[in-house]
Amino acid sequence: MKVSEANTPGRTPSGSTGGNRPAAELEQALGLAFRDRGLLRKALTHRSCVNETGGTDIDSYERLEFLGDVVVRLIVSEELYHRLPKCDEGGLTRRWTALLSQRALAVVARRLDIAPYLRLGRGFESTGGRDSEAVLGDVMESLIAAVYLDAGPDAARRFVTAALGPEINDACQPDWRPDNPKAELQELLQAQGKPTPTYRVVSATGPAHQPQFTVEALVNGDSLGSGHGQSKSAAETEAARVALMSIRQLAPRQSR
């Protein structure tokens, strides 16, 4: 695979609407040239598409996602290690966690306009699967694996550092703070002499391939706020975010 200097991740074709667009268009938009274009197609293929066409799960992006998860973690770890020589292990870990969260990878996938090129089954498409944070985060990993397998580790590193460049650069700033509501809520409550918050699943609805969770953040059995998400983790994060807003809105009133 050749990596074009003229095109970089983030440059997308005009009029990116609709779905199941040709993978070759995305290849050009990202400045890539696959020797094995089948890898790229597989990286964009959700299991719902495979199920509707009589294939098996190994024809979907899931195996590539497995590999891509490892590849992107190593690349980002090395970037942080070399670019932040005075940062301790805790600081590196906080940045690494923020950069590689499902939400963060989905943000990158949206910036690269990957969604229109996903190969989805009609049923999954009709339930909003094309904009699923979980799917977009997973596909970002599968795409990284496809680059790695097609062109090797150096090409994968170039792709990752370009695609995640804004986030990595931001994480390397001295005043960087993680977008980690759960950790922030725990620190705030500890500073107030209160116990660590717990999280309770209130409901789980929707089809198996597109679940919706509602989770409550609790302290001493009292609800601080609730959040929704396509995974328990995402719902917990949103509940913590709501709880932080509630506590901060309440603080000025209590100080009067």
pLDDT of residue 20: 67
Task: Give the rounded percent of residues in the chain with a pLDDT score beyond 90.
Answer: 55
Q: Which residue has the higher pLDDT, 253 or 147?
A: 147
pLDDT-derived band at 154 (thresholds 50, 70, 90) equals very high
Answer yes or no: pTM beyond 0.85. Answer: no
DSSP 57-121: GGGSSHHHHHHHHHHHHHHHHHHHHHH-TT--HHHHHHHHHHHTSHHHHHHHHHHTT-GGG-B--
The string of pLDDT tens digits covering residues 209-255 is 778 899 999 999 999 999 988 888 889 988 998 998 888 877 655 54
Domains and CATH numbers, the chain: 2-171 (1.10.1520.10), 181-254 (3.30.160.20)
pLDDT over 50 at 157, yes or no = yes
* Least-confidence region, from 61-70, 75-84, 150-159, 203-212: 203-212
Give catalytic residues, as residue numbers: 69, 141
